[in-house]
Structure 1
Amino acid sequence: MKLLGLFRHAKSDWHDARARDFDRPLNERGTKGAAVMGRHILEHGVPWQRALASPAVRSAQTIELAEAATGMTMPIEWDRRIYLASSATLADVLRDQPDRYDRLIMVGHNPGLEDLIFDLVPEDGSSPLREMVEVKFPTATFAVLELDIDSWADLHDGCARLVHLMRPRDLDPDLGPQLIED
């Protein structure tokens, strides 16, 4: 069995229209959300062996702030294929991983991460948390999948159970959707 953590980058800033998408930093809410979720990931108790991460600025800042909030560090493999990747590309990145790693965490973007959950977790009722992902997989959300495989190369559709899902707003209501007031 393999364990896969999926961590969507925290909320980014859209205010600088000149900035390339790749270079967008986190906004204030994203900065707070990354730290809150970093503490949650640590408290969740899985000793992650390696992070696979998009090198986009918002992903790198999410990792940096999560690590700073917890004092934890782990080896990170920056993989440009993860940046705005499809589910199929993310699955290929995972299939390329050495089998000495049983617990990997991937930090990236939507819709790829969300679609990866839909591909790996069957829609058969075995993972009730899947329905929450169908509603939305917001920024800074953290999910854990148990994969019924012995080798990353054997990753295939339907091989996983979604066993944990935490959104920033579940830990701090101020990190939830911002409502527009009249």
Structure 2
Amino acid sequence: MSVAEPRRIVLFRHAKADWPQVTDHERPLADRGRMDAAVAGRKLADTGVPFDLALCSTATRTRETWKLAVQEFPHRPKTVYEERIYEASPGELIAVLNETPDEVRSAVLIGHNPGVQGLADVLPGSAEEDARSRMSRRGFPAAAFAVLTFTGSWKALEPGVAKLLDYWAPSE
């Protein structure tokens, strides 16, 4: 794939987690989270983006979110569980994405707030107005995702180079 071809990235926040007596990293999804993760998976499949790669936090709630969401996809992408995504800042998430091989045309990153929302705020230099206004109104609740596009190498991904194409969040 040429680095001049457009690339897609989806920033996907894990679904609603439960609060049992476990460490934060081991928190599982709540019943609502399991339902929203499957719905988000259907919505992601509806975008028509054929994902080549999924980068998922190692936290239990992100792994469970991805497992439920990906069942809705016609094609299961290669999944890499990356511990650096857990509690990562937008800059740290960009560093992880910068390591993506240029053969990858589209990727989904399954992570946590505030990092995922911060990244969705800083990557786009432009946006489809409806998507930007919906994201501004809703914030980035559990199971929300943003679809962005950019042109160039993954190594060149930085704030302001992407365009926000779409945004979705579950009903509250």
Task: Confirm whether residue 96 of structure 1 aligns to residue 99 of structure 2.
Answer: yes
**In the aligned structure 2, how far is the partner of 1:2 from the partner of 1:71?**
19
Question: Cα RMSD between the aligned structures?
Answer: 1.5
Q: 1:154 to 1:26 in 2, by over 3 A?
A: same
**In the aligned structure 2, how far is the partner of 1:41 from the partner of 1:127?**
17
Number of corresponding residues = 165
Looking at secondary structure, tell me which structure has more strand per residue.
Answer: 2
Q: 1:100 to 1:138 in 2, by over 3 A?
A: same
CA apart distance, 1:133 = 2.6
Which residue number in structure 2 is paired with residue 133 of structure 1? 135
Identity, in percent, stands at: 38
**In the aligned structure 2, how far is the partner of 1:157 from the partner of 1:37?**
26
Which residue number in structure 1 is paired with residue 157 of structure 2? 155
Contact 1:31 1:62 in 2 (8 A): yes
CA apart distance, 1:146 = 0.8
Q: Which structure 2 residues correspond to residues 54-93 of structure 1 after superposition, within 5 A?
A: 54-70=57-73, 72-93=75-96
Q: Which structure 2 residues correspond to residues 1-182 of structure 1 after superposition, within 5 A?
A: 1-14=6-19, 16=20, 18-70=21-73, 72-122=75-125, 126-128=127-129, 129-135=131-137, 136-147=139-150, 149-169=151-171, 176=172
**In the aligned structure 2, how far is the partner of 1:75 from the partner of 1:41?**
16
Runs of 5+ consecutive residues of structure 2 not aligned to the other structure: 1-5
Q: Deviations over 1:74-118 (max 9, x none)?
A: 210111010111000000001111000010110001110111111
**In the aligned structure 2, how far is the partner of 1:91 from the partner of 1:140?**
20
Which residue number in structure 2 is paired with residue 179 of structure 1? none
Q: Which amino acid aligns with 2:39?
A: V
Contact 1:114 1:133 in 2 (8 A): no
Q: What's the secondary structure of 2:32's corresponding residue?
A: helix
CA apart distance, 1:69 = 4.2
Q: 1:133 to 1:54 in 2, by over 3 A?
A: same
Larger-gyration structure (1/2): 1
CA apart distance, 1:68 = 3.0
Contact 1:9 1:59 in 2 (8 A): yes
